[in-house]
Amino acid sequence: MRRVVARLVVALTWFLAGGNVRRAGFTPDSKQRIYFANHSSHLDFVIIWAALPAQLRMRTRPVAAKDYWDKSALRRYLAGSVFNAVLIERNREAMSANPMDTLKAGLGSEHSLILFPEGTRGDGVTMGPFKSGIYRLALERPDVELIPVYIENLNRILPKGEFLPVPMMSAITFGAPMQVHDGEGKAEFLDRAKNALLELR
């Protein structure tokens, strides 16, 4: 059932967002990876997930806000049964686990993740500062490659605050793998990761 619904989600995503997929130094592979991208729409992780080959898609888990995906039965079904999402609690008072522990558990020994280092949606034009979570996760799991993914135009398909998407062409570019260098500090790495995304424009 999951695969049937997944195929429907992929078909709907390409209908709404077109989807010009480019690869700049990226080759799909079954190894564990962390796909990190700019963030301007609730469709962001969906189009990355849909752009992956089917066999990788089923092993790739989007990281998403628990409060958003818990709001309705449909969202809970999609997040849990279709996307197998790793849901992060944003309300500190409601947290029952350290978000980093949740991310590491989400990776496990066989899954990949899709995450957004900005932590919140932007305007689709400028990119906000990266939070430190991606750096800490990369240090904890140096065996997992980091893949920059730049998404264009999704903010116009489903703008912030809107509920109904408008069909329009988008573009998604997967970049070359990267990792934290030996001795590389947090600020230096976060700047390099952000620049890796900007270079894919």
Q: What is the pLDDT of residues 78-105, one digit of tens each?
A: 889 999 999 998 776 666 678 899 999 9
The domains located in the chain, with CATH, are: 2-198 (3.40.1130.10)
- CB count in 10 Å sphere of residue 2: 11
Q: CA–CA separation, 39 vs 32, rounded Å?
A: 22
Signed CA dihedral, 27, 52, 108, 142: sign only: positive
Could you tell me the strand order of the sheet in which 86-88 lies? 18-23, 170-174, 145-152, 33-37, 112-115, 60-65, 86-88
pLDDT of 40 reads 73
pTM for the model: 0.88
Residue with tokens 């469709």: 43
pLDDT of 167 reads 47
Packed helices 99-107 and 133-140: angle between N→C axes, nearest 10 degrees: 50
Q: CA–CA separation, 129 vs 135, rounded Å?
A: 13
pLDDT of 133 reads 93
Residue with tokens 């329009």: 168
pLDDT of 169 reads 65
Q: Which regions in the chain score pLDDT beneath 50?
A: 157, 163-164, 166-167
**Composition of the chain by helix, strand, coil, percent to 5:** 40, 20, 40
The three-state secondary structure class of 60 is: strand
* Nearest CA among 43, 139, 121, 118 for reference residue 83: 43
